[in-house]
Structure 1
Amino acid sequence: MNLQVEQMHPLVLNVGLAIHNADWNWKNVNSPFTRLYYITEGTAQIELPDGIHTLYPHHMYFIPSFTVHTNICNSHFEHYYLHIYEDHYSEDDWLEQWEFPLEIKASPLDLSLFQRLCEINPHMSLQKSDPTTYDNNPTLMRNLLKNRQRAFCDKVESRGIVLQLLSHFFKYAQPRNEMEDNRIAKAVRYIHKHISEEIELEKLAELSCLSKDHFIRLFKKGMGTTPLQYVNQKKIEKAQLLLLTEELAVKEIAFRLAFEDYSYFNRLFKKITSMTPQEYRRLYSR
């Protein structure tokens, strides 16, 4: 896989130290960002699709985006957390191109890196550990806006730290084998990668080696929504991000996301967010 470091633009959404006493218990968490943990004290467990794993002190853990998992904590437990979002300038979802190890042994330097990341990003810690309080699109957009408003020197240092931490996991990572991926997951990755283009249902069904009707049924069963609804949702989420991070006219944003009908884009945006693009930009850019 010909991945270049120049393609990697990780953004820090949240970083901080969490202290728990048998209260880190959240079921079926599924986030659009990657999580890194550094365990400092105690133990807890995390249930992933392949089983239950114990989290140990002085180890780091990697939870990919869109991975359904459950946290289990029955005693005292402390850990640093880091939520990483892939910058929309990236040509590919590079974190999704690799199979990363869940666990690696950490070093004292890794602990120092987490501490430094917290020091230069004091306003990016979570107020509550309940994922429902921060794992939602409005909060995601506000965090991305906070990221943009930081001092340039802090952005540069943060990116360097994140890349250092990720480098340990890349040492043991393996490129994904597309043939091993399930059919719907392959279609979802295609949608994410080509969200700025017109995405045809026939193309998605072809990628999944399914008839169109069979693909729609399987997609809805696996994702809880139709392919068209999912594509529209992701396009509007991308539009929300562009509204807050780019000084582009709304019409230009609609064009960039392959909406030829500007009126339809406005109607769809309001249907999904309950406000117009202009209202959204005014509300969250303050």
Structure 2
Amino acid sequence: MKQNFSSAMIVYANNYQFAKNEILTHEHVQSRMLLWCKSGNGNVEIDKRRFQLSKGEFLFLPWNRKIKYIPSTKDPFLVAGIHVIPEYVKKQPIHFNVAHSKQESKVRAAYVIDKLIPELDGIPVGNFNLSKKLEYLSEYIILTFQKSSPVETEMRLLGNLILNDLIQYFSEPDKKSSLVSIELGRILQFIHDHFKQPISLIDLEEFSNLSSGGICGLFKRHLNTTPCQKIAEIKMEKAKEFLTAGRFSVAEIGQKVGIDDPYYFSKKFKKVCGVSPLEYRRQSSFL
């Protein structure tokens, strides 16, 4: 059931690419923040708790936090963040930025207010590979905020949406365990990153350091599918993108998703998607 956050508002949203050895600290941040890693990796220290962030992983951060960003020296992370005020009192001065000091916070304290959200208590950890819907909304918010001067009504609507989507994500039983979220999310990210290659269960074992039984159990319990079925689904979703683009033959698309035999690719596509590759292309061509 959706909650009413009609007074919530997005006050800032951006991407930031860290350089090697660039460490950034903010002592007192007055917002709730959805923070995620888009590429590379590194660590984030929140109120003396340290979290490792890799591609696809996200944190939802508490109000009045101290935060320290520590990028990897080999592959510094590109991070994205959405700052949400749970209750931004209406008909008050609008600041599309975030208070990063106690002095700034005092000035805005009467109308920039935190709100108790039990489902988002603490520092929840998630992975966008377990919810593409949440990822697409988050990316849309970044684009909308950055494209032009933010509009209050739009930022309030998006603030309401993102808080409700986060609550929905963390209300699902399989998302409550951060360990499960991290392990499964990283395996799914590996599949997304290597869709152009044949991927076997052995590859997933070697990547994750989990047994085949452990991997199959994760997929069954939390996605109600098998690793092989999920690999096929991800490959066929990529194949749909190539088919819609219209520039490649069916055989070429099969090769692009790691299936060299065009007959087997067509058979697998129809099994997963319900229609043949050519029929899917015909259905998608009417724009």
Instruction: Flag whether TM exceeds 0.5 (same fold).
Output: no
Q: TM-score, normalised by structure 1?
A: 0.44
Q: TM-score, normalised by structure 2?
A: 0.44
